[in-house]
Amino acid sequence: MKFIIFFYGFQLQYLRFQVNGKLVDNGFMKQERLDLLREALPYIQKFKGKTFVVKFSGKVTENRENLASLAEELALLHQVGIKICVIHGGGKQLSELAEKLGVVQTVIDGRRVTNDETLELAKMIFAGKINTEILASLRQRGTPAVGLSGIDGNIVHAEKRPPKEILNKKTGLKETVDFGNVGDVLQINADLLKLLLDAEYLPVVSSLGADETGQVFNINADTIATEIAAQLQAEKLILMSDVNGIYFDANDENTKLSRLTMAEAEEMIESGKASGGMIPKLQNLMQIVNRGVNSAHVIGGNVRNALLSEVFTDEGTGTMIVR
């Protein structure tokens, strides 16, 4: 069963139910609609006026239908009075453009080496193509969005990442790697974002930053989203990923963790229940909550209505860590 809900204030514009691709409108479905609204109302009241930071990658935006669906969900959150700040990357589109133009890319342990040519492409993709497409999709839904990069209003003050020793898994030897024009966040200036949010605009920020000389850097979008969420003291940081949450067993959907407190997450790590790649994911979410964000979420970026379900239903769709 799929559902799409659009609110304006607390009023329902329309609600459509589909079962096996066919519209259904009977007494049972009407009751389902009313129950759904009852479940959503306390959350609407609770989160009205609060700030959510939503981060998604280029993978989420590459499909037009998926971007349109996500824009509808963001528009709904905005319409019911939730302040939304979007942070996005675009690594997939950057890699595709680099391949078309013959710009060789080097990725070490999942981190891109950003030479001067790659930085020029990142500016085009992040602050240009992807940012504009997100804005256009939000505009179609009547949402007043403003496109920014971390350079606008000095939002992201960064410095060049120093060379690091990396273990070459092929040779087993350590190598010193210079990541080029990759930056690390030093400070977030959220003044411009606060002005826009208070004026009921929806900021859309691409993952670029700069230092005091104006040198532009490619910066990890998760890092920027985390720093902005902490600076805004956001109610939620929602990371829209290519996975639907955090799992005990990545190959078993039944092992997904739905809701954890900080104490429960710590216990899982200390007892050994959490292992492998699950540990850094939990630690990252715990760090976010420790910095003042009330809850941190990982949800599927390509799942229709995942954002609405995570915010407006008891069950949710992904993994949430709370204080």
Query: Measuring CA to CA, how many Å separate 56 from each of 60, 174, 227?
Result: 6, 32, 15
Between 3.10.50.40, 3.90.550.10, 3.20.20.60, 3.40.1160.10, what CATH number should domain 50-322 receive?
3.40.1160.10
Q: Are 60 and 90 in contact (CB under 8 A)?
A: no
Give the rounded percent of residues in the chain with a pLDDT score beyond 90: 61
pLDDT at 284: 83
Per-residue pLDDT at 26: 53
Higher pLDDT, 321 or 5: 321
Grade residue 282 by pLDDT with cuts at 50, 70 and 90: confident
Using pLDDT thresholds of 50, 70 and 90, give the confidence band for residue 262.
very high
Give the domain ranges of the chain: 1-47, 50-322
114 DSSP β-pair partners: 180
- Residue 284 and residue 281: Cα distance in Å, rounded? 5
* Mean pLDDT lowest among 94-98, 129-133, 302-306: 302-306
In this prediction, residues 104-128 reach a mean pLDDT of 92
- Decide: 228 and 152 in contact? Cβ < 8 Å: no
**Across 86-99, average pLDDT:** 94
Confidence of residue 122 (pLDDT cuts 50, 70, 90): very high
Q: Is the pLDDT of residue 200 over 50?
A: yes
Give the pLDDT band (50/70/90) at residue 166: confident
